Chains A and B, each alone.
Chain A
Amino acid sequence: MRAQKIIKSQVKWYLIQYIVFIYLAIPLHGQNYYAENGTARFTSSVPFYEFTGTSNQLTGLINITENSVDFYLDLETLDSGIKKRDKDMRLTLETKKFPFAEFYGNLLDQVDLTETKPQKIRTSGNFSIHGISQEMEVSGEITIEQNILHLTANWEIRLDDFEIIPPSLLIVKVDQIQKISIDIRLEKQ
C-alpha cells in the first residue's frame, strides 16, 4: 500500500515535470520574428488609372518552428495621397466596423535560416477583410539577413469575394481586382 502511494506520488511528480517541461519548451524552441512597421500596399484600378493606398504600420509575426504566419493591418492607416480618397476607401472598407485586414496561416515550405539567398516560400491560411474570411495560398520571398527575416509578397483578391462594393463615379467603376503587396523586415525575438 505504501509502495503504491510512493509510485502514485512519483507518477504525479513526473507528470507535473512533463507538463512544465512542455510548457516551457514550446516557447523556448519557437523562433519568432516580429515587426510592426512593415509596408502594405493596396492598389486599385479605374479605367486608365491606378491608385495605391499605402501603410507603414503592418504588424507581422512568423514562427519558424511552428511554421505559422500572422499579419494584420489597421486599415485606417492606409494613405492614398488624397485625403478625400482615403475617406472614400475607409467608407468602402467600412473600417469603423472592420478595422483590420489580416492573414493567419502556415508556412508550406521550410525556411532555411542559414541560407542568405532569397528563398521562395508558400503560405496557406485565411485572409480576412471587411469581416469576411477566405482561405488562400500566398507566395512570397524570404531573405535572411542576420537576425532579420525580410519578407515580400504579392497577391490579388476580388472585392466581391469579400462583399466589398467598389465605389463608382457615374459609369466609371473601380475594378473588382485589388492588388495587395507587403514588404516587411521581421526581427528575431
Chain B
Amino acid sequence: MNAILHFSNIKLLLCGTLLLLVVESVQAQMERKRSLDKLPDPELFLSTSLVSAQTVSIVPKGEIQSAISHSFGHIRSGWGDLFGLDNNASVHLGLDVGIAENLSLGIGRTSVDDVFDMRLKWIPFRQNSSNSRPLSVGLYLNTALETLEERRFDYSFTERLSYHSSILIARQFSSKITLQISPSVTHFNTLIAQNKIPLQHTIFSALFLGRLKLNERNSLSFETVPILSDSEAIHHWAFSYEIETGGHVFQLFLQSGYLFTEQYIIRQTVDSFWNGDIRLGFAIHRVFQVKKRS
C-alpha cells in the first residue's frame, strides 16, 4: 500500500514539475505588443502633382523631390510622327524641398517659352485615419517668369511675371477614391493676342482632380480645369496611370494642355481632349533624403 502511495506520489511530483517547467518556458517568451497605437493617415495621392495640377500631397520635411515631366506631340498625327513621339512638345524639370512637415518650396522650368517657376505649398490640415479631420486643406502659390527673348517687345522683369494661387481641398471617400477641388485665381501681367485667346489678365477657375486606387502601388487619376470666368475657353483634361515603387512615382498620361505650369495650362490650352487633340506624356518623380528625421 505504501509502495503504491509512494509510486503515485512520484508520478504526481514529476507531472507537477514538468507542468511547471512547461508553463515557465511558455511564460519566458514575451507577449508581442504593437509599438504604434494609431493607423497611418490615408495617402490621398501618390505624388505631389498629377499631370500639371498640384495635389494636397506634399514633400515631407527633410526630403527633396525631383520630377521630370515630358509631353509629346498629337497622337492623331499617326505613323508619320509615330503618334506624336517624334515631336517633343514640352519638358518640365522640377525640384521641391520639404522645409517643414506641412510646407514645401519648389522651383521648376518648362522648356516652352523658357518659363521658370517658383512654388510654395502649405497643407496645414490633413485628413486623418480617425476622421476627426475629414478633409485635407491647403494653399498653393506659384510665380512664373517667362525668360524667352521676345524680339518684338522689350519686356521688363515685372511684365514677364505670372501668378497662380489655389486653395486645395481634398478628401479620400473610401480607401479607393480621392477627389480634390482647387478654386484658383491666375494672373498674367502681360498678354499678347494670339491663338484667339481673349485678353483676360485675371482668370478664375477650379481644378478638379481625382484618383482611383487600383492597389497599393497603382492608380488611375484625372485632372481638368473648368475656367469659370470664360465659358468659351477650352478646358484642359488629362488622365494618368501611376505606378509607385520605392522612392519613385512613374506617371504615364494622356493630356490636352501640355505646358505643365498651372497658369499656362489655364491660359494657353488650345487643344480639346474630347475633339481628339490628345498627347502622350510621362513623368518621373524621385524622392531623396536630405536631412535625417528627428
Contacts and interface: CB of A to CB of B under 8 A. Distances in A.
B35 A18 contact: no
Interface in B42-99: 43, 60, 62-63
Interface of B: 1-2, 5, 9, 12-13, 16-17, 20, 24-25, 28-30, 32-36, 43, 60, 62-63, 216-217, 244-249, 287-289, 292-293
Contact of A74 (B9, B25, B36): B36
Given A76-B35, A77-B35, A79-B293, A84 B216 contact: no
Contacts of B33: 59
B43 to A, nearest CB: 7
A175 to B, nearest CB: 13
B41 to A, nearest CB: 11
Contact of B288 (A7, A82, A100, A102): A82
A18 B13 contact: yes
Contact of A63 (B20, B28, B288): B28
B287 A84 contact: yes
Interface residues of A, number: 38
Given A11-B9, A102-B32, A104-B29, A81 B62 contact: yes
B33 to A, nearest CB: 8
A140 interface: no
Interface in A125-168: 167-168
A121 to B, nearest CB: 18
A177 interface: no
Nearest to A74: B35
A74 B5 CA distance: 52
Given A81-B63, A91-B217, 6 more contacts: A18-B16, A74-B34, A84-B246, A85-B247, A99-B32, A99-B34
A61 B32 CA distance: 12
A19 interface: yes
A187 to B, nearest CB: 15
B32 A15 contact: no
9 contacts: A8-B5, A15-B16, A18-B16, A26-B20, A26-B24, A61-B30, A70-B28, A82-B63, A85-B247
Contacts of B24: 26
B1 A23 contact: no
Interface string A70-89: 10101011011111110110
Interface in A4-46: 4, 7-8, 11, 15, 18-19, 22-23, 26
